[in-house]
């Protein structure tokens, strides 16, 4: 599967993904975007979800491990950087099934962050595998 061109900011958002994440990593590298893999295999509850996000994304020390704080961080240029980011959430199926309300909230935060950065001409891409 070939990923969308990450330099086309208008197409950024939350996307389903199947296959390996290598093409995503390569596309991000070629576009000079940060790339992070968030492995949700061990995320059995909200605390573990935030721990995985924090570890994979190297969130700021002041990150409060809640959805409001996550939304704030995702709109912080100091954290995001100048060009944007590509996130690959792997092993997400179980968390989505076991925690549907929290998953909806997380996806909404990703969508809002993507829209926020589109207005600032930076890509915020999320691929869910």
Note the pTM of the prediction, 2 decimals.
0.94
Q: What is the DSSP letter of 111?
A: H
91 falls in which pLDDT band (50, 70, 90)? Answer: very high
Euclidean distance between CA atoms 71 and 26, whole angstroms: 27
Assess contact for 22 and 115: CB atoms under 8 A: no
Mean pLDDT of 68-96: 92
Nearest to 120 by CA among 84, 91, 79: 84
Q: DSSP letters of 52-102?
A: HHHHHHT--TT--SSHHHHHHHHT-HHHH-SSEEEEEEES-HHHHHH-HHH
State whether residue 107 is helix, strand or coil: helix
Kindly calculate the radius of gyration of the chain based on its CA atoms and give it in whole angstroms. 14
Average pLDDT over residues 5-30: 96
pLDDT in tens, 38-61: 999 999 999 999 999 999 999 998
Contacts of 70 (CB under 8 A, 6+ apart): 50, 53, 59, 63, 106, 109
What's the average model confidence in pLDDT over 83-105? Answer: 96
Model confidence over 103-125: pLDDT tens digits? 999 999 999 999 999 999 999 99
Asked if the model's pLDDT at residue 78 lies above 80, the reply is: yes
Q: Is 67:54 a contact under the CB 8 Å cutoff?
A: no
């Amino acid at each position: 599967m070939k990923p969308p061109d990450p330099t086309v900011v208008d197409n950024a958002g939350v996307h389903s993904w199947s296959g390996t994440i290598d093409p995503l990593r390569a596309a991000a590298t070629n576009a000079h975007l940060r790339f992070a893999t968030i492995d949700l295999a061990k995320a059995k509850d909200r605390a573990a979800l935030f721990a995985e996000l924090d570890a994979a994304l190297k969130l700021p020390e002041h990150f409060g491990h809640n959805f409001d704080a996550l939304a704030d961080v995702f709109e912080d240029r100091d954290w995001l950087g100048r060009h944007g980011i590509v996130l690959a959430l792997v092993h997400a199926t179980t968390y989505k099934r076991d925690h549907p309300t929290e998953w909806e909230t997380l996806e909404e935060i990703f969508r809002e962050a993507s829209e926020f950065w589109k207005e600032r001409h930076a890509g915020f891409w999320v691929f869910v595998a």
